[in-house]
Structure 1
Amino acid sequence: MLALPFAGSPVTLLLALVAILLVLVILRVALELAWRLIIIAAVVLGILWLLAAFGIDVPGPTPF
């Protein structure tokens, strides 16, 4: 059997692949959530901009 000098045992390689898969799944969920938050923020800002464009007073943050 061909043994590569940098390859570990099959169990170690399997655990590494599972760890990489877990990281990718977590990152995919995090990016999906981030995109949803960006889209929600863009829609809210667009609505506020349209209200301000039509002359409806949109209250901003209150100063301290």
Structure 2
Amino acid sequence: KGKLFDRDMARKMEFLYREIESGRFARSLMNENKTGMKNLNARIRTAQYSPLQKAHNSLAKKLSAK
């Protein structure tokens, strides 16, 4: 309790690390590139309107005003 990353997050990060280390992530990204980046671009568009991105934009605006 009180940690930034709990066990579930640690497992997800470990999974991602294994994806990168094995080369699966790179192969997936290369395949995505061959097909026009449709999935990645859709995820980027969705993320632009997420609560996390909105909070980031608000904080960045406040910090740059100083």
> Do the structures match in fold with TM over 0.5?
no
TM-score by length of 1: 0.35
TM-score (ref. length: structure 2): 0.34
Structure with higher helix content: 2
The higher radius of gyration belongs to 1
